[in-house]
Every structure is written in structure tokens, then in C-alpha cells.
A = this chain, B = another copy of it.
Amino acid sequence: MLREALERVASGAAALRGADAGVRSSMLEALAAGILAQRHEILEANSADCVEHAAALSPSLAERLKLSDEKLDVAIRGLNELTAAQDPLGTVLARTELDHGLILEKVSVPLGVFAVIFESRPDVFLQVLGLALRSGNGVVLKGGREASGALRAMEHAARKWLARRDMSSEWFLLVEGREAVSDLLQHDDLIDLVIPRGSNEFVRSIQAGSRIPVLGHAAGVCHLYVHSSADRSKAVRIVVDAKTQYPAACNAVETVLVDARAAAEVVPMLCRELELAGVRLHGCDAVCSLVPGVDLVPAEGWSREYGALEMAMKVVSGMPDAVAHINRYGSHHTDAIVAEDADVSEAFIGLVDSACVFANCSTRFADGYRFGFGAEIGIGTGKLHARGPVGIEGLLTYKYVLRGSGQVVSSYAAGGGSQFAFRRLPT
């Protein structure tokens, strides 16, 4: 039954792929109009969800579950921005004249169907439907049980308003229930990409159970390396920001590495400022001997993601030692150096094998919004397809289009008389 529903999504996605930008913009408008018109029903359903699940949820999850006029306004504004945004499909990424009258183009196209598995925040539903329409993809949404009332109300509004304008809503599917996740992951021929949004354990379980490619990160063990040439006040400002501005974020720093040549001066300075900011510290032997009262990091502790006002600090012998530590214990997410010596920071940038490598700024900048991408689909720490913060391009692939006038390959074989020109044309 799920398979049949997924086949309908695939068929809806095929129609979206053929629809032009204007049609998909009209669908975005219909979606926004439906949510606006049905906002009272949606908010009522959400209130019932909140009452029903209040006891079982932590305060922060309860906060994320709760919708409001303001949150719906933000979501509708997001849809309007996507309606007005430049369409990402049909972009010519490269164009080559293979021969006279034989032009090759590499053109952006939708992936096909993606699935988003999310928790608590029902407004994610609208963001994801909007991204699916703008990128021309079918989408399967699996929300948390605690949000099901609001999700059904939004689904109802979306389908109703699309139908009113004679537009298909076959391209999206809302599924429910924990068991639906493992079911979904079986259909790797119908779903092209899975985007899990949730805890590290949750992402890891999806990665382990899926033959479908996964866009996500199961850990954010980010580092800051303070080189001996670092401007001391920049180092303090950056370390404090990277740890304390939002400690639960995946791009918050977990370990500070300090150059041995500067350790006697920099370690006590950093520890003082971090303690003032309420950060609990764990150090290597050298740090513990420089600053009394710091806990020793256990040997297996260097890959720990604290995700709170708590972090590790280690003295390293120099840049190569810092790079080796980062490539071994890090999660290839975001790592940064603080150094005034540009030769050192450029070498660090070249050697660290992470999606984001920064010099003289906070790791917290690693984010789709701060990178100027508009919407962020997710952050990937794998290396294929999309890496680091991923915008709407992560929902696209390309196809090669070759337009000829009767050409055959035998003409270009030995003795065929034709030769390729391979002339790059402007896109």
C-alpha cells in the first residue's frame, strides 16, 4: 500500500518535472493561500496536539511543537519568498559545441523524489512542500506523532487549495507512524534522497538502515586551533562565540587546540574567559597542569560532542599535530584556525579534510542562511553530491542534452571524415 502511494508520488513528480516555473509558482501561491485561509483549523488542531502530548514532551520540544500566528506568518513569508525566487531548474551549467550543429548542454533538473523525516516542528511541513515545488521534486514527509493533528490540517488545506485551482497534489505524501520509516527506506527505486532531521542517534540509525543516499550529519565535533601567531583578543572572542552563542548547534566548537609555543599565555587566558561564560572545561595533561581545577579528558574523550556549555582543550605541538588531531577525532563538519601567519592558515585550510574550514572567524558561521543560500536543506558531512550546508541545489541533479541535426558516431570514427570541435560556448 505504501508502495502504491509512492508510485503515485513518482508519477506526480514526473508531472512536476515537466511543469514550467510559472506553474510551480502558481502552486506555491495556492499553498500559501490555503494555509492562510485555514489557519484557524490548523492552530486548533495544533492546540489539541499540544494538550495531548504536553506531559510527554520536554519544555524545548513542547516549544517547538507549538504553532502560533507568528510562526505561520513566517512560514507563509517563506513560501512567498520561494514563489518570487529564481527558478533553479533548466539552468545551463555548461555548453559545448561538439561539432557544427551538435550542441551539448548540461542542464539542472530535479532529483525526482526526496523524503524528509522530522520531529516536533509542524511548520517544517510547509518549508519542505515549498522547497519541493520550487525544485520540481516529489516529496514524502514523515512527521512526529506528536504533531499529527496540525500536519493533517495543513495537508488538508494544501490539497484543498491546489484542487480548487485544478492543480495536482499527487507529488506529495504525508506518512505517519514510526514503522513507516523502515518501510520507506526499502523503496530505493522510488526515493532518491532521504533527509533526516533529528538527533545524532536518529540520523545514524537512518544511515545504517538505508540503501537510499542520506543527506545529513550524525555528529558535529568541530575544532578551533589557536596558532602561536594568533591575535589573542580575536582568539578569545572567537572561542567564546563558537562555544557559547548556541552550544547545542552542530557547528558549535567542542575542542580547542592550542599551540605549545603559546600555551603558557593562551591557555589560562582562554580558560578564564570560558569560565566567566559558564563553560565547564576538560583538558589534556598540559592544560590541567597550566590551569588548576580543569578536569582531565578521558583517553577516548576527544570525539565527544558536548552540545552544551562544556568543552575540551588540548595543547598541540604545532599545525601538523593540530591537523592530525582534527582529521582523526573530528566529524569533518567545520574546523577553524586562528592565526595571523597567513602561510600557516592557508596550509591548515589545505590539509584539514572537512566540509568547512575557516580562518579567523567562528565555526558558527557554517550555516546555509549565513552562507547566503536562503533555505538550508541540511548539512552533509559525506563527500558525495552535496557537502557542508546545502541549499536548494542539493535537491537537483543534471542531465546532458545533445541537440543534433542527424549526426551519427560512425562519421567520427576512423575514416569517417568528421572531427570533433569541442568548443566551449557561453552558458
Contacts and interface: CB of A to CB of B under 8 A. Distances in A.
B372 A400 contact: no
A241 B408 CA distance: 6
Contacts of A98: 365, 370-372
Nearest to A398: B387
A350 B112 contact: no
A264 to B, nearest CB: 23
A125 B354 CA distance: 29
Contact of A111 (B193, B245, B383, B406): B383
A242 B234 CA distance: 64
Contacts of A112: 353, 383
Contact of A364 (B355, B409, B420): B409
A371 B400 contact: yes
Q: In the complex this chain forms, how many copies of it are found?
A: 2
A55 interface: no
> Chain A: interface secondary structure?
mixed
A360 interface: yes
20 contacts: A14-B353, A18-B350, A98-B370, A237-B406, A238-B408, A241-B408, A246-B409, A354-B399, A356-B399, A356-B402, A357-B400, A359-B402, A359-B403, A360-B404, A361-B408, A365-B409, A372-B422, A384-B385, A385-B385, A387-B398
Interface of A: 14, 17-18, 96, 98, 102, 104, 111-112, 192-193, 213, 231, 233-234, 237-238, 240-242, 245-246, 327, 345, 347, 349-351, 353-362, 364-366, 370-372, 383-385, 387-389, 397-410, 412-413, 420, 422
Given A364-B408, A365-B407, 4 more contacts: A17-B353, A360-B403, A364-B409, A387-B399
